[in-house]
Amino acid sequence: FELHTACDGLDALEILRKLPEPPDLILCDINTQNMNGLNALRSDPENQFIPVIWLSTKMGKNASIEEKEADDYLIKPFCARELIVRVRANIKLSCIRRKLLLQQKWQLETKDLLFSINQKIRSGFNIKETLASVVRQIQKILPSERVFIINTNSENCKEFYLIALASIYPNEHEHVGKPLDHIISDNDKTPSGVPFEPISETFRILQCRPNMVVRENIYSRLVGEYVSTIFTPIKTNSSTWGWLFTYRPPNSIWLDSEKEFVEQISNQIGLAITHATLMEEKLKKEAQMEAARAANEAKGQILANTSH
């Protein structure tokens, strides 16, 4: 264990504030002076998961309020082995609680993002603006260097465009809306030994892949460096509308929950785009029918006037 010692509660508060990360556990004697500062620290939501073990000479009904609110306490005298066992057990329980809450937060953020995608696209928001917002939200939830969406707007899949990007590198955002071949010509520093093939050919091959692809160390000609990536197709009906990519530094690991998250988002984007497309087609047909009805009424009126 790495230890930091303090002479009283205020000193402990000052030490804790200077630490780059919160401690795994706080161990203190019930007779320590100026403990109000330490109690105030624990009231901060950021520090509520730090377990506290009190050392006391009292127990049961004679225990003080502080002891009763502690995660654990040891009665003096105690042996070093018992102390170490209690410390390790409380740190482990704290980690479990933290993971559970982070998982709950992850699930809530995912649910909110899925709902947001659906609402924005179905409400007629500009698709590019909506997807730009989506990739920014994905990057907040899923730690990554880059999150971006690629789309082809041609039936023969000869041209592919970067239509949305969230990147930790601000200068890369100027590439949004450009064909991939133009972006690659600026960034390409393909090392020797890496096979060269046109980017359009790469994406035509990807269209044959119906599922997610995970590569932990692959050279990306799009950014000119090795990356760890997840990319998954965005499907509309039975065709591939585009792809959702996430980049991390090479050899980064992707958790199963992260893979599931990316897949959920790509599926929701596909469903929302499909719905928006169908609604647009429906409105066009209704407009055409209304125009035809108006034309027929006008024609009928003209014929009636002529007959009269």
Per-residue pLDDT at 61? 47
Contact call for residues 194 and 182 (beta carbons, < 8 A): no
List the domain boundaries for the chain: 9-99, 124-283
Kindly give the pairing relationship between strand 52-56 and strand 146-151: unpaired
Residue type, 238: S
Contact call for residues 88 and 239 (beta carbons, < 8 A): no
DSSP letter for 253, please. Answer: -
Residue entry with tokens 């060269």? 196
Per-residue pLDDT at 1? 82
Q: How far apart are the first and last CA of the chain?
A: 103
Q: Report helix, strand or coil for 59.
A: coil
Per-residue pLDDT at 114? 75
Torsion of CA 210, 214, 215, 216, to 10 degrees: 180
Residues shown for the chain: 308
pLDDT tens per residue across all 308 residues of the chain: 888 888 877 788 788 888 888 888 888 877 777 666 556 666 666 667 788 888 877 655 455 545 445 678 788 888 888 888 988 998 888 888 877 777 777 777 777 777 777 777 666 667 788 888 889 988 888 889 999 998 876 555 567 888 999 999 988 888 888 888 777 765 556 555 554 444 555 555 565 666 788 888 888 888 888 899 998 888 887 788 888 999 999 999 898 888 888 888 888 888 877 877 776 677 777 777 777 777 777 777 776 766 65
- Domain 9-99: state its class: alpha beta
Q: What angle do CA 170, 128, 153 make, to 5 degrees?
A: 110
Residue entry with tokens 């901060």? 44
Q: What are phi and psi of 160, to 5 degrees?
A: -125, 140
Beta-carbon count within 10 A of 259 CB: 15
- Domain 124-283: state its class: alpha beta
Q: What are phi and psi of 53, to 5 degrees?
A: -115, 120
CA distance 304 to 221: 69
Largest CA distance in the chain: 115
Per-residue pLDDT at 247? 94
Of all helices (H) and strands (E), which one includes residue 29? strand 26-29
Q: Report helix, strand or coil for 283.
A: helix
